[in-house]
Amino acid sequence: MAPMSKNAAAPSVPTRDRLLDAFEELLVEGGERSATLDAVAAAAAVSKGGLLYHFASKDALVGGLLARLDALALEDAENIRTAPAGAVDYLIRTSVHTGSPLDRAYIAGSRLAQGRDPRAVQVLTEIRRRWLSVIEDAVHDADVAQAIMLISDGLYVNSSLAENELAPQNHTDAAMTRLIALIGRLLPHE
Amino acid sequence: MAPMSKNAAAPSVPTRDRLLDAFEELLVEGGERSATLDAVAAAAAVSKGGLLYHFASKDALVGGLLARLDALALEDAENIRTAPAGAVDYLIRTSVHTGSPLDRAYIAGSRLAQGRDPRAVQVLTEIRRRWLSVIEDAVHDADVAQAIMLISDGLYVNSSLAENELAPQNHTDAAMTRLIALIGRLLPHE
DNA sequence: ACAACTATACCGTCTAGCCGGTACAGTCGA
DNA sequence: TCGACTGTACCGGCTAGACGGTATAGTTGT
């Protein structure tokens, strides 16, 4: 077929990124196992040869995903630090599945880490270390910061496990506001 | 009817359970991908034919693991409810990788859920629903119970991701005691 | 001309699942 | 008490298909 404007939509997004998007999507939706090269190529509407043109191996594909995740997370750490409503507020609100690029990349990375890919484990560990550090700066108490991180992690688990079942309205804006108020009690007074 | 004394060692643990143990272990250590039938059989020191005698398919193996997890979790809910030091104390302390049978089964189940096995998702969702219910009974506040569950989930993520890296002494007894004290602040007063 | 692909064919390995066979303990009728 | 038979617990060889990766020839927009 015509490799140009697929059919209607012009490839405003470079193929390389579309491949990474597709890989991510498959990891999130179907786990490690379903993210095969064939599946990734098909999902990105690219031939397998085309995939391997951009990423010479599956390892390279994983590397590309992890690099993008790391870059996204680095930006995010800055967003948390400078969030107008406060670091804790921002962290908690963005810990629920918002569908943001970082969100998807983070969950995809988690899948790889659970498959025990050592690079994925390292990248995730580093990202979490950065988040913890930002929260520590914001609350001035290592134990409280730790507890807040745990809640943030818990939210990720919840939203990626239940998707939308368990406790229908746990992730609404109102619920998040109540949760953040609750976290406020952890702070002695500042 | 004695299937005993294979050669020398009497199989004090039935082969069926050894297979489930091996499957669990592989899921925990290497993720979904590494838990192949061949690997499970080898880890249980059984031939592949032997494995398939006990579990006719991989699906059946997953079913067996999930059934065992569910049974273990049902017992555990009772342990939480009747824990001398209180439900919250028990839940939090057992949320870190203790190596208990439930612990391992739960993490293994999580791996399957991340592979998007719908049965695994359902079993885990149900287990978490039960835990939440027990905590709600203990703290008499839905929001606080929710927050405690999130912390518990976070601890699982932490211990299963970092294993023993990130923040060396986050899961010591002392750290847990401090965390539980912190959670106490969430309760208005009771 | 060149980069960015498509399409197809192929290879070695891994994976799930199947099947025939073996060993052996216990049951039962004559 | 013997021989025929049954059920349980396995072994190990096999196959079809999936998977990662290679190779190569052709197409298209700039």
- By the CB < 8 Å criterion, does A39 face chain B? no
Q: Nearest C-alpha of chain B: how many angstroms from A135?
A: 15
How far from A162 is each of A8, B123, B125, CA to CA, in Å?
36, 11, 7
Q: What are phi and psi of A45, to 5 degrees?
A: 55, 50
Residue range B31-67, pLDDT digits in tens: 989 999 999 999 999 999 999 999 999 999 999 999 9
- At residue B116, the pLDDT reads 81
Mean pLDDT, chain A, as a whole number? 86
pLDDT at B87 over 70: yes
Q: What are phi and psi of A134, to 5 degrees?
A: -65, -45
Q: Burial, A109: exposed, middle or buried (Cβ in 10 Å; 0-12, 13-18, 19+)? A: buried
Chain A residues 29-58 with Cβ under 7 Å of strand C are 45-50, 53-54
pLDDT at A94 over 50: yes
Residue range A19-54, pLDDT digits in tens: 999 999 999 988 989 999 999 999 999 999 999 999
Average pLDDT value for residue range A60-72:
95
Euclidean distance between CA atoms B91 and B78, whole angstroms:
11
pLDDT at A114 over 90: no
- At residue B169, the pLDDT reads 55
pLDDT at B21 over 50: yes
Whether residue B157 contacts residue A157, with contact meaning beta carbons closer than 8 Å, is answered with yes
> Strand C closer than 7 Å to the CB of B42?
no
Please report which confidence band the pLDDT of residue B13 belongs to, taking 50, 70 and 90 as the band edges.
confident
Q: Which of B159, B177, B95 is nearest to A125 (CA)?
A: B159
Mean pLDDT, chain B, as a whole number? 86
Whether residue A44 contacts residue A22, with contact meaning beta carbons closer than 8 Å, is answered with yes
Please report which confidence band the pLDDT of residue A116 belongs to, taking 50, 70 and 90 as the band edges.
confident
pLDDT at A162 over 60: yes
Whether residue A113 contacts residue B158, with contact meaning beta carbons closer than 8 Å, is answered with no
Q: Which of B91, B73, B84 is nearest to B135 (CA)?
A: B91
Look at residue A47 and give its three-state secondary structure: coil
- At residue B170, the pLDDT reads 62
> Strand D closer than 7 Å to the CB of B42?
no
pLDDT at B11 over 80: no
